[in-house]
């Protein structure tokens, strides 16, 4: 089985690569080749099968054709520019998040015209396809009314994925990821960054800023669950999806207060004291427009699983990033 990961250099892409190499198989079939693609070539990784790395900008004509010429069995399409950048640069956002994806879909369709080929394609969408006003718990059949260009681009790619799959050009599954916490590494500039920061930094003995109130509620899963979603989406029987190939992934609906209580259970009062409250009205307004909870009934019934408490999320971070030990514990 040959697997292609587009966007392999990102956080989720790297963790997916590690997981696939550790498993050595996908859906019960041994992995024989893995191609890792990103705008800049990902790091070459040692594996008991052939791994190749490719630098490819999907938004450039011809780039996708090169990627699909080897006819991989499974394609993970994770590549995108983030919400803030897509909002700041209208043309770049559409070029990469919409045109890049459409060029990939078209390259697969045209390759399939040469000789039959219908790969499983797993696409990471986002809960940014939803926009206020929203019910407290968002059902699976809620309309998409995105309030950002990023959310618009993801919603359009979902529609294309469903139509290309219905036509039999590929076998697509779109998954709407929750906000991923705890993201490892340095803080980034995403408005959602503090959700990870207030766990990650204090556990390392570093102060972290909390810009919103303790009763703010949001929708989370760990990086470990995100990788689990991707692998399950690649393995599941698409017949069960019928014509609705885009799914809101399960997650944990939790408040900042619940997040901090979990942090305290693992790190103690000394660690929680490193969270400094500094309300920021701009961030508060942005976050107020975000979804707080989803039913995710279809994904749950299809076997997708996420954390059910913030303790699980903090524990996954400590196990996967900190070698199982709390540095200050």
Judged by the rule CB under 8 A, the positions of this chain that interact with a second copy are: 90, 131-132, 140-147, 149, 152, 155-156, 159-160, 162-163, 166-167, 243-244
Phi, psi of 39 (to 5 degrees): -55, -45
- Annotated catalytic residue within 150, 164, 219, 304: 150
What residues pair up with 253 in beta bridges, in sequence order? 219
Residue 126 Cβ vs a second copy, minimum distance, rounded to whole Å: 14
Q: Which of 268/289 has CB closer to a second copy?
A: 289
What separation in angstroms does the CA of 75 have from each of 35, 234, 282, 307, 308? 9, 9, 38, 26, 29
Q: Which of 2/102 has CB closer to a second copy?
A: 102
Q: Pick the closest to residue 248 from 304, 288, 289, 292 (CA basis).
A: 304
Q: Which of 80/252 has CB closer to a second copy?
A: 80
Sequence-distant (≥ 6) Cβ neighbours of residue 291 within 8 angstroms: 127, 130, 134, 138, 218, 219
8 A C-beta contact, residue 56 and residue 6: yes
Residue 153 Cβ vs a second copy, minimum distance, rounded to whole Å: 8
Residue 163 Cβ vs a second copy, minimum distance, rounded to whole Å: 4
Q: Which of 149/292 has CB closer to a second copy?
A: 149
Q: Pick the closest to residue 107 from 69, 154, 162, 76 (CA basis).
A: 69
What residues pair up with 259 in beta bridges, in sequence order? none
Helix, coil or strand: residue 72: coil
Cα separation, 187 vs 192, in Å, equals: 10
Q: Which of 109/305 has CB closer to a second copy?
A: 109
Residue 293 Cβ vs a second copy, minimum distance, rounded to whole Å: 16
Phi, psi of 34 (to 5 degrees): -135, 125
Residue 49 Cβ vs a second copy, minimum distance, rounded to whole Å: 36
Catalytic: 150? yes
Q: Which residues are catalytic?
A: 150
């Amino acid at each position: 089985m040959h697997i292609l990961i587009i966007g392999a250099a990102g956080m989720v892409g790297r963790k997916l690569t590690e997981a696939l190499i550790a498993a050595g198989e996908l859906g019960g079939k041994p992995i024989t080749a893995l191609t890792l693609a990103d705008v800049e070539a990902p790091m070459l990784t040692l594996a008991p099968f052939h791994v190749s790395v490719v630098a490819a900008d999907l938004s450039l004509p011809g780039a996708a054709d090169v990627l699909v010429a080897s006819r991989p069995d499974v394609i993970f399409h994770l590549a995108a520019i983030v919400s803030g950048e897509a909002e700041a640069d209208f043309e770049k956002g559409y070029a990469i998040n919409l045109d890049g994806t459409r060029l990939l879909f078209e390259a697969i369709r045209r390759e399939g015209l040469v000789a039959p080929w219908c790969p499983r394609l797993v696409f990471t969408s986002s809960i940014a396809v939803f926009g206020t006003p929203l019910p407290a718990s968002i059902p699976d059949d809620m309309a998409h009314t995105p309030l950002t260009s990023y959310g618009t681009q993801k919603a359009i790619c979902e529609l294309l994925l469903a139509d290309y799959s219905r036509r039999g050009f590929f076998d697509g599954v779109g998954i709407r990821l929750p906000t991923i916490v705890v993201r490892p590494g340095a803080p980034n500039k995403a408005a959602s960054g503090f959700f990870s920061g207030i766990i990650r930094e204090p556990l390392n003995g570093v102060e972290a800023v909390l810009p919103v109130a303790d009763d703010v509620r949001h929708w989370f899963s760990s990086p470990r669950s995100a990788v689990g979603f991707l692998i399950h989406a690649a393995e599941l029987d698409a017949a069960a999806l019928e014509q609705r190939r885009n799914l809101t992934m399960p997650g944990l609906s939790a408040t900042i207060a619940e997040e901090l209580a979990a942090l305290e259970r693992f790190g103690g009062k000394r660690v929680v004291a490193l969270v400094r409250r500094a309300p920021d009205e701009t961030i508060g307004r942005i976050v107020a427009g975000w979804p707080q909870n989803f039913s995710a009934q279809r994904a749950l019934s299809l076997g997708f699983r996420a954390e059910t408490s913030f303790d699980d999320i903090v524990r996954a971070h400590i196990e996967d990033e900190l070698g199982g030990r709390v540095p200050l514990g």
